[in-house]
């Protein structure tokens, strides 16, 4: 036993030496304090408290303080910052998890970890989303309610026995869009803690997603303008029971669907981001950009409700004259909604692929940022091309009355009514090319250089903006529908005039396909050096802007073509001169095409 005592003493001494030589951790209660500014005041708190409160933010200065002179080592991303002394001041320039070592001597080292957030920028970006949601939708509801109110005031002034209760109901229809926008704005503000007096430090990606939600419900809220147009007609037709109240209500609520689509996408984005009280999620910047792409797709295409309102208004008035026109009127009114349905599909595909639809499994890695930019390109393509619904509504509105005439061919009239649909098909085609090329239809998105994402935006701008030529085509097609009923022999020539404004979109489609092929989004791999991808992407945006906006000359061409149809219907010998006048506007689209091709040649794509 006596022999064991020295051995036990020796073991105890070795154990004590081992414990003393071990690095100490913050969990043992030893930690530095942190000195930093909050709202202009200097505060000093323990590191653990600063970390748990999320007070570490990028771009701010922090001074770590120790009770004696030590060696400091701050590590992040494989890089180290070092210093000596009792204080260590640094500027945190990137978000993420940092490691801080405090070395007192050769045997004593303390190791701490803390998380640096992105600061309040994400929260303030989210406020922009809230503003867009309520602001844009308020414009739509304000104009729509104003149009309806004007019809109501006219009805009251002309007939003291007017049914004021019905007027109020019709005027209430366009108000719902502003309610949707107000609801989304409140959800966003609650999600970032704006009502608590302190905006939470949420990731920038969350702020971008909130902007996407605001764009979706805000722009789609402009559908209230179309709803106001048809509701105003409903007031006039129901005052003397020329049409049943129920049928007028059916026509009046048709343009509401686009606002509901926009609300749906906004809710899906916010739910996936954790703004419904489940805790804000953390995902990459690319996912936030993808949310903006989905919002653009649904929000911009929501303006098709203006065209639907025009068609439904004509259908409501036609049904008041002839109750048998109700069924055909419904068909013509629904046609203008189809572009929004295609945009809804693309938006859901984007949200599903990036993880926002389920709120988990968010896209990350090298592919995320590229996919976010590509999603914006797809959203621009199908969103702006979806504005062809306004042209569809104009053509359908004229077609309703044409179909009421005796011996009118419903089939021929339907041809004119659906002509402006081709532009949204072009936009959908380019959007599918982008989404498929980015791998969003598969299980794993593809990783391309950032420049390829910019090129996708260029292609989307080209086909999307030029798609609004459908407004001009709708004007021409509406005139063609009326002319073909008045003079059946004018059908073929009217088709020719109605097709003219579509050529601008064909030019844009060609440019879009050239861009997508060059950057590998049509398959076949990247056709340009990776080092040139960024420059090609920027140049592609320039080419898209050139042909996209120049293509809007098709609106003017449609106006001329509509008058040309009327001219040769009255005097057949005026066909040639009318055609010459109608093609004049084509010149400016050719200018845009020429510049776009020269730009593509300059960047080595064409």
How many percent of the chain have pLDDT more than 90? 56
Class assignment of domain 368-395+418-488+495-568+585-606? mainly alpha
Q: What percent of the chain has pLDDT over 70?
A: 93
Q: Is the pLDDT of residue 599 over 80?
A: yes
Measured between alpha carbons, how far is residue 199 from residues 55, 188, 195, 202, 214 in Å? 12, 11, 8, 8, 18
Same fold, 119-364 and 368-395+418-488+495-568+585-606: yes
Residue length, the chain?
606
Radius of gyration of the chain (CA): 32
CATH class given for the domain over 21-116? mainly beta
Q: Which of 46-55, 490-499, 535-544 is modeled with the greatest confidence?
A: 535-544
Average pLDDT over the chain reads: 88
Predicted confidence (pLDDT) per residue in 508-523, tens digit: 999 999 999 999 898 7
CB atoms within 10 A of CB 276: 14
Q: Which of 195, 204, 250 is nearest to 227 (CA)?
A: 250
Residues paired with residue 33 on neighbouring β-strands, in sequence order = 46, 65
Cα 253 → chain centroid? 24
SS3 content of the chain, % helix, strand, coil (to 5): 70, 10, 20
Checking if the pLDDT of 421 tops 50, the result is: yes
Question: Do the beta carbons of residue 557 and residue 472 sit within 8 Å?
Answer: yes
- Hey, where are the domains in the chain? 21-116, 119-364, 368-395+418-488+495-568+585-606
* C-alpha closest to that of 342 among 423, 222, 246, 248: 423
- Dihedral of CA 153/159/164/169: which sign? negative
Q: Which residues pair with 98 in a beta bridge?
A: 114
Q: What's phi and psi for 430, nearest 5 deg? A: -65, -40
Per-residue model confidence as pLDDT tens digits over 374-395 = 999 999 999 999 999 999 999 9
CATH value of 119-364 in 3.40.50.10470, 1.20.120.610, 2.60.120.10, 2.60.40.1930:
1.20.120.610
User: pLDDT band at 399, cuts 50/70/90?
Assistant: confident
Q: How many helices (H) and strands (E) does the chain have?
A: 25, 7
Q: Is the predicted pLDDT of residue 538 greater than 90, yes or no?
A: yes
Distance CA 420, CA 308 (A): 13
Q: Cβ(598)–Cβ(566) under 8 Å?
A: no
E strand or H helix that includes residue 577: helix 575-583
pLDDT tens-digit map of 90-138: 998 887 789 999 999 888 999 999 988 777 788 889 999 999 999 999 9
CA distances 229 to 134, 306, 388, 483, Å, are 21, 8, 18, 25
- B/e letters for 89-111, b = 16+ CB within 10 Å, e = fewer, are ebebeebeebebbbbbeeeebbe
Instruction: Give the count of beta carbons closer than 10 Å to the beta carbon of residue 519.
Output: 27
Bridge-based pairing of strands 41-46 and 108-116 is unpaired
């Amino acid at each position: 036993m006596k022999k064991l005592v020295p051995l036990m003493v020796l073991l105890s001494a070795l154990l004590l030496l081992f414990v003393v030589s071990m690095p100490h951790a913050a969990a043992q209660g030893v930690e530095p304090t942190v000195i930093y500014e909050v709202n202009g005041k200097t505060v000093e708190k323990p590191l653990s408290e600063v970390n748990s409160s999320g007070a570490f933010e990028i771009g701010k200065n922090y001074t770590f303080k120790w009770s004696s002179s030590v060696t400091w080592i701050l590590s992040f991303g494989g890089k180290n910052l070092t210093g000596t002394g009792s204080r260590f001041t640094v500027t945190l320039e990137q978000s993420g998890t940092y490691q801080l070592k405090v070395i007192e001597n050769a045997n004593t080292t303390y190791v701490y970890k803390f998380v640096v957030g992105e600061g309040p920028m994400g929260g303030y970006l989210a406020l922009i989303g809230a503003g867009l949601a309520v602001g844009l939708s308020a414009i739509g509801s304000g104009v729509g309610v104003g149009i309806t109110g004007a019809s109501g005031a006219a009805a009251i002034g002309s007939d003291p026995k007017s049914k004021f209760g019905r007027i109020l109901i019709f005027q209430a229809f366009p108000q719902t869009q502003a309610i949707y926008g107000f609801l989304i704005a409140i959800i966003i503000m609650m999600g970032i803690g704006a009502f608590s007096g302190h905006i939470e430090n949420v990731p920038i990606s969350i702020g971008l997603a909130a902007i996407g939600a605001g764009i979706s419900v805000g722009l789609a809220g402009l559908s209230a303008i179309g709803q106001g147009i048809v509701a105003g007609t409903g007031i006039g037709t129901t005052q003397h029971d020329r049409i049943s109240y129920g049928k007028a209500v059916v026509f009046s609520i048709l343009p509401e669907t686009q606002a509901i689509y926009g609300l749906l996408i906004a809710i899906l984005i916010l739910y996936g981001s954790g703004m419904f009280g489940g805790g804000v999620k953390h995902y990459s910047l690319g996912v936030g950009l993808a949310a903006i792409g989905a919002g653009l797709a649904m929000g911009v295409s929501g303006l098709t409700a203006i065209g639907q309102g025009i068609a439904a208004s004509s259908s409501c008035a036609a049904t008041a004259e002839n109750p048998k026109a109700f069924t055909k009127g419904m068909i013509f009114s629904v046609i203008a909604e189809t572009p929004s349905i295609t945009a809804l599909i693309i938006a859901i595909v984007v949200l599903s692929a990036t993880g926002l639809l389920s709120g988990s499994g968010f896209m990350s890695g090298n592919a995320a940022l590229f996919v976010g930019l590509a999603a914006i390109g797809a959203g621009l393509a199908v969103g702006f091309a979806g504005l062809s619904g306004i042209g569809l509504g104009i053509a359908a509105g004229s077609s309703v009355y044409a179909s009421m005439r005796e011996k009118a061919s419903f089939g021929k009239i339907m041809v004119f009514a659906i002509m402006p649909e081709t532009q949204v098909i072009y936009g959908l085609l380019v959007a599918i090319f982008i989404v498929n090329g980015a791998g969003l239809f598969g299980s794993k998105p593809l990783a391309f250089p950032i420049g390829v994402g910019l090129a996708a935006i260029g292609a989307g701008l080209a086909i999307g903006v030029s798609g609004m030529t459908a407004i001009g085509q709708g004007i021409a097609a509406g005139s063609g529908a009326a002319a073909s009923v008045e003079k059946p022999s004018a059908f073929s020539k009217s088709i020719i005039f109605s097709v003219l404004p579509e050529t601008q979109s064909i030019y844009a489609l060609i440019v879009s396909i050239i861009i997508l092929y060059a950057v590998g989004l049509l398959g076949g791999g990247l056709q340009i050096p990776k080092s040139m991808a960024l420059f090609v992407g920027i140049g592609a945006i320039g080419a898209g802007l050139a042909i996209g906006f120049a293509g809007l000359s098709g609106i003017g061409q449609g106006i001329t073509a509509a008058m040309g149809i009327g001219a040769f219907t009255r005097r057949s010998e005026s066909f040639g001169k009318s055609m010459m006048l109608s093609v004049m506007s084509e010149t400016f689209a050719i200018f845009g095409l020429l510049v776009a091709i020269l730009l593509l040649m300059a960047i080595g794509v064409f």
